[in-house]
């Protein structure tokens, strides 16, 4: 069974764990830390100050922060379980006490709250996710600050991420991989139409629920394509953000150049991983991988797995084109190709059909509603007219004439 190489830790790993999935290698998680919990609680909560103002709190690592806050309440969310910590802070499974539902809550550590770029990234993560409403994207419920802590409350997803699924069970079947790719593309299309680019599509950011539905998570590197882009672009310095196994060449050169086609490249790498158990360029250091994405042609997936249909292999190859203009122009174009491929292969897209938004259909109905209503009234009146119209007097008796009898249209003589 192929074992995927570990992804380097990134600031976004907590969100993955918040969905109930064990995070990637190196992710700090809960364990038998009762002594540490007691020590932290005595240190942090004894002063009575807001947490973020407590000097003892500022030095806590994400795991220590998570252990310290477990059992506390933030904005009516009881933090039941610390599920992971990464570069930006800690993530919990919690209970919304007002609505009595399970949620995920992500807390930004005060250490990073003082860093302007990280704080803006945290804010953009919330803004990006909040403007999206799609069944295949984990929803944001609220964002705010309480007890001196910045937080985001997310939808809690029961399931497993693609990284763990492949690591535990091996490469996916062609039908499953194609179905998941279609759902991911549909989610990216929804985001693209709302001017959001994810910029960190990778297996650990794709969750699969128990009924086989996709949930795209972690908008921590997302970019809002607004007029004031510089304000929302967290990579104005040109620093490379993303995961080296799945990053598009242009994004590696300058993240400010990333657009929807960059997400398509990352999805191509992810689909390659789903089918083979490895990314296109699995070997080398981070720098070597970046250079391979820049200049090396991705291997033909059929050399690693011959059962991949040729049409599907060609689609993946185009997704992995080095130049953005050689890829599919946008997620809508890719989605059309994937749906055609699914139809030819007999792969069900029922889950996608059930999840597709109907806003466009509703707007179309509203545009045509006045004409359709008027037509309906006219047709109804025409159908009901014989019932309610007054009965006309019978016509006078037919009088036969030689002209009528000789007419070629007269098929039978009148009575």
pLDDT computed for residue 220 by the predictor? 58
Residue 402 lies in a domain: no
pLDDT computed for residue 144 by the predictor? 87
Residue 333 lies in a domain: yes
Same domain, 146 and 42: yes
- Which residue range forms the structural domain that includes residue 78? 13-155
- C-alpha to C-alpha distance for 16 and 85, rounded to whole angstroms: 10
Residue 389 lies in a domain: no
- The one catalytic residue in 96, 164, 186, 200 is 200
Same domain, 292 and 180: yes
Same domain, 103 and 167: no
Q: For the chain, what is the domain count? A: 2
CATH number where 231 lies: 1.10.510.10
Residue 251 lies in a domain: yes
Residue 373 lies in a domain: no
pLDDT computed for residue 223 by the predictor? 61
Judging by beta carbons within 10 Å of its beta carbon (0-12, 13-18, 19+), is residue 318 exposed, middle or buried? middle
Same domain, 347 and 222: yes
Judging by beta carbons within 10 Å of its beta carbon (0-12, 13-18, 19+), is residue 208 exposed, middle or buried? buried
Residue 388 lies in a domain: no
Residue 268 lies in a domain: yes
CATH number where 147 lies: 3.30.200.20
Last residue of a domain, one of 305, 340, 356: 356
Same domain, 253 and 131: no
Same domain, 302 and 341: yes
pLDDT computed for residue 410 by the predictor? 28
Radius of gyration of the chain measured on its C-alpha atoms: 30
154 pairs with which residues across the strands? 104, 140
pLDDT digits (tens, 9 = 90+) for 95-112: 999 999 999 998 887 666
Does the annotation place 215 within a ligand binding site?
no
Same domain, 171 and 255: yes
The low-confidence residues of the chain, meaning pLDDT below 70, are: 1-62, 86-87, 110-115, 219-242, 350-415
pLDDT computed for residue 217 by the predictor? 87
Cα–chain-centroid distance for residue 253?
A: 24
Same domain, 289 and 331: yes
pLDDT computed for residue 50 by the predictor? 54
Same domain, 172 and 269: yes
Same domain, 253 and 143: no
Please name which of 84, 102, 106 lies closest in space to residue 23, comparing C-alpha atoms.
84
Last residue of a domain, one of 356, 381, 401: 356
Last residue of a domain, one of 324, 356, 388: 356
Same domain, 209 and 129: no
Judging by beta carbons within 10 Å of its beta carbon (0-12, 13-18, 19+), is residue 12 exposed, middle or buried? buried
User: Three-state SS across the chain?
Assistant: CCCCCCCCCCCCHHHHHCCCCCCCCCCECCCCCHHHHHHHHHHHCCCCCCHHHCHHHHCCCHHHHHHHHCCCEECCEEEEEEEEECCCEEEEEEEECCCCEEEEEEEECHHHHCCHHHHHHHHHHHHHHHCCCCCCECCEEEEEEECCEEEEEEECCCEEEHHHHHHHHCCCCHHHHHHHHHHHHHHHHHHHHCCEECCCCCHHHEEEECCCCEEECCCCCCEECCCCHHHHCCCCCCCCCCCCCCCCHHHHHCHHHCCHHHHHHHHHHHHHHHHHCCCCCCCCCHHHHHHHHHHCCCCCHHHCCCCCCHHHHHHHHHHCCCCHHHCCCCHHHHHHHHHHHHHHHCCCCHHHHHHCCCHHHHHHHHHHHHHHHHHHHHHHHHHHHHHHCCCCCCCCCCCCCHHHHHCCCCCCCCC
pLDDT computed for residue 78 by the predictor? 96
pLDDT computed for residue 143 by the predictor? 86
pLDDT computed for residue 43 by the predictor? 40
The verdict on whether 164 is a catalytic residue reads no
Residue 361 lies in a domain: no
Same domain, 165 and 144: no
């Amino acid at each position: 069974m192929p074992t995927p190489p570990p992804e380097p830790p990134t600031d976004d790993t907590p969100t993955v764990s918040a969905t109930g999935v064990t995070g990637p290698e190196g992710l700090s998680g809960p364990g038998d830390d009762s002594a540490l919990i007691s020590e932290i609680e005595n240190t942090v909560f004894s002063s009575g100050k807001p947490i973020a103002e407590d000097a003892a709190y500022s030095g806590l690592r994400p795991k220590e922060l998570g252990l310290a806050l477990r059992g506390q309440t933030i904005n009516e969310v009881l933090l039941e379980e610390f599920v992971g910590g990464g570069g930006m802070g800690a993530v919990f499974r919690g209970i919304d006490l007002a609505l009595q539902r399970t949620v995920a809550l992500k807390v930004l550590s005060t250490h990073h709250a003082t860093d302007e770029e990280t704080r803006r990234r945290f804010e953009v993560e919330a803004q990006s996710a909040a403007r999206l409403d799609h069944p295949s994207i984990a929803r944001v419920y609220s964002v705010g600050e309480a007890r001196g802590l910045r937080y985001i409350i997310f939808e809690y997803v029961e399931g497993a991420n693609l990284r763990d699924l492949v690591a535990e069970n091996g490469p996916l079947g062609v039908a499953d991989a194609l179905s998941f790719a279609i759902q991911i593309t549909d989610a990216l299309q929804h985001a693209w139409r709302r001017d959001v680019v994810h910029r960190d599509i990778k297996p650990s950011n794709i969750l699969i629920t128990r009924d086989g539905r996709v949930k795209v998570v972690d908008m921590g590197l997302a970019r809002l394509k607004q007029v004031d882009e510089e304000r929302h672009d967290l990579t104005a310095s040109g620093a490379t953000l993303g995961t080296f196994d799945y990053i598009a060449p242009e994004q590696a050169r300058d993240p400010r150049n990333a657009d929807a086609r960059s997400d398509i490249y990352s999805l191509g790498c992810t689909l390659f991983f789903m089918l083979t158990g490895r990314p296109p360029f699995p070997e080398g250091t981070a720098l070597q991988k970046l250079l391979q994405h820049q200049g090396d042609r991705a291997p033909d997936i059929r050399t690693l797995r011959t059962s991949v249909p040729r049409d599907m292999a060609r689609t993946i190859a185009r997704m992995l084109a080095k130049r953005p203009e050689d890829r599919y122009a946008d997620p809508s174009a890719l989605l059309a190709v994937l749906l055609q491929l699914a139809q030819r292969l007999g792969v069900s897209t029922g889950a996608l059909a059930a999840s597709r938004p109907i806003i466009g259909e509703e707007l179309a109905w509203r545009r045509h509603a006045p004409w359709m209503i008027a037509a309906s009234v006219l047709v109804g009146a025409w159908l009901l007219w014989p019932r309610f119209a007054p009965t006309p007097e019978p016509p006078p008796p037919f009088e036969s004439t030689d002209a009528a009898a000789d007419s070629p249209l007269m098929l039978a003589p009148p009575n």
